[in-house]
């Protein structure tokens, strides 16, 4: 709720001064049990910072993180521990997140060693079950991460995330390092696991074609702010924010009824020196004077969802899809 987070950076480009880099600005999100929220935006928009804030790996400067009525932001690291079991993470690069010196058995046993009192035999059984759950043979247990393909390694990463039967899984770009055909397999696996274990997902991605198949709701970030949040079906039919529209236009399979317009031109501005007014205005084809002066609030539009754009109503009524 209303999360803010900045980082202090310094370096030659800042003439040796320490400056504040705002990474997340007033972001509120809600994960609904058993559902998937897709968090979308270009790299550097604050998506990964959000996941670290939810995991308790970072503390918000302002705002709070709640889990089933408990305010996690007020807990000590010790009090956090039982919640840490409930929220697990899957990373983009399964290879980097798996210790190369450990066998799959050791990797998957670790959560049980840290969080449970299971003995070695019980742990071995658990590992075999986990491997089976993610579609891998139990004979893989004695092998090392480098012996596997990217897709298999991501299955191992998913098995590790499932070990302690969490309620929430945060998947940070879980398929973006994989080949297209493998991506589909992993997405299908995540889908099946969600049904089987009633999991709640926060699915972080820069790729809208991946999000569509898995997500119920979608939240779009730009330069640390939420610019749109709505239901996934409606979002793909008619996005509310010009930035969302531009992201959808970049998809290889475009909706033929949707007229093609140019993609946002120009670089993403530096968060150190964000544009005045709406931070999307230098790239927005619809920018008018007010956009350069006032930051648009995140508001409901036609009961369709939330968007932060001065011209949203006007554009979605007669502009964006006609």
Q: Rule CB under 6 A: which residues touch ligand SF4?
A: 242, 278, 280-281, 284, 286-287, 291, 296, 309-311
Output the residue with the shortest Cβ distance to Mg ion: 48
The C-alpha atoms of residue 212 and residue 134 are separated, in whole angstroms, by 22
Decide which of ligand SF4, Mg ion, none touches 48; Cβ closer than 5 to 8 Å per partner kind: Mg ion
The residue (of 48 and 200) whose beta carbon lies closer to Mg ion is 48
Decide which of ligand SF4, Mg ion, none touches 280; Cβ closer than 5 to 8 Å per partner kind: ligand SF4
Q: Provide the mask over 129-168, with x wherever binding to Mg ion is found by CB under 5 A and - wherever it is not.
A: ----------------------------------------
Residues 6+ apart with CB under 8 A from 273: none
The residue (of 105 and 172) whose beta carbon lies closer to Mg ion is 172
- DSSP string spanning 192-234? HHHHHHT-EEEEEES-HHHHHHH-SEEEEEETTEEEEEEEHHH
The C-alpha atoms of residue 75 and residue 276 are separated, in whole angstroms, by 36
Decide which of Mg ion, ligand SF4, none touches 177; Cβ closer than 5 to 8 Å per partner kind: none
Output the smallest distance, CB 226 to ligand SF4, in A: 13
Residues 6+ apart with CB under 8 A from 68: none
Output the smallest distance, CB 279 to ligand SF4, in A: 8
Output the smallest distance, CB 253 to Mg ion, in A: 24
Q: Which tokens belong to 221?
A: 């970030």
Sheet with 217-222: strands ordered across: 87-90, 168-172, 200-205, 36-40, 217-222, 225-231, 305-307, 299-301
**Backbone dihedral angles phi then psi of residue 97, each to the nearest 5 degrees:** -95, -5
Output the smallest distance, CB 3 to Mg ion, in A: 16
Element holding 161 (H helix, E strand): helix 150-162
Number of chain residues interacting with Mg ion (CB under 5 A): 1
Decide which of Mg ion, ligand SF4, none touches 296; Cβ closer than 5 to 8 Å per partner kind: ligand SF4
Output the smallest distance, CB 32 to ligand SF4, in A: 27
Output the smallest distance, CB 273 to ligand SF4, in A: 17
Does the footprint of Mg ion cover residue 48 (CB under 5 A)? yes
**Among 162, 164, 161, CA closest to 112:** 164
The residue (of 136 and 227) whose beta carbon lies closer to ligand SF4 is 227
The residue (of 247 and 320) whose beta carbon lies closer to Mg ion is 247
Q: Which tokens belong to 272?
A: 């150190």
C-alpha angle 220-272-296 in degrees, rounded to nearest 5: 45
Decide which of Mg ion, ligand SF4, none touches 286; Cβ closer than 5 to 8 Å per partner kind: ligand SF4
The C-alpha atoms of residue 145 and residue 161 are separated, in whole angstroms, by 16
- Contacts with Mg ion by CB under 5 A lie at 48
């Amino acid at each position: 709720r209303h999360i803010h987070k900045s980082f202090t950076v310094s370096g030659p480009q800042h003439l040796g001064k320490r400056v504040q880099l705002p990474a997340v600005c007033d972001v509120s999100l809600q994960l609904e049990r058993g559902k998937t929220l897709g968090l979308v935006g270009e790299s550097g928009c604050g998506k990964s910072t959000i996941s670290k804030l939810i995991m308790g790996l970072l503390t918000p400067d302002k705002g709070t993180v709640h889990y089933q009525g408990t305010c996690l932001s007020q807990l000590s690291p010790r009090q956090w521990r039982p919640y840490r079991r409930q929220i697990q993470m899957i990373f983009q690069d399964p290879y980097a997140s798996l210790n190369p010196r450990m066998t799959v058995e050791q990797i998957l046993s670790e959560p049980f060693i840290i969080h449970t009192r299971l003995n070695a035999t019980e742990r071995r059984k658990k590992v075999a079950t986990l491997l089976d759950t993610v579609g891998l043979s139990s004979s893989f247990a004695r092998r090392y991460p480098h012996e596997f393909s990217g897709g298999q390694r991501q299955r191992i990463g998913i098995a590790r995330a499932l070990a302690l039967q969490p309620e929430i899984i945060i998947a940070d770009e879980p398929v973006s390092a994989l080949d297209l055909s493998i991506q589909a397999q992993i997405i299908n696996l995540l889908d099946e696991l969600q049904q089987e274990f009633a999991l709640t997902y926060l699915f972080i991605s820069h790729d809208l074609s991946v999000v569509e198949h898995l997500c119920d709701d979608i939240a779009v970030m730009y330069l640390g702010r939420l610019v749109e949040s709505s239901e996934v079906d409606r979002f793909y039919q008619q996005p509310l924010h010009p930035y969302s529209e531009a992201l959808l236009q970049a998809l290889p399979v475009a909706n033929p009824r949707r007229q093609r317009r140019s993609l946002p031109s120009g670089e993403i501005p530096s968060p150190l020196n964000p544009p005045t007014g709406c931070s999307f205005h230098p790239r927005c084809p619809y920018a008018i004077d007010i956009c350069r002066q006032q930051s648009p609030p995140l508001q409901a539009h036609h009961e369709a969802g939330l968007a932060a754009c001065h011209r949203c109503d006007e554009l979605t009524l007669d502009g964006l899809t006609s």
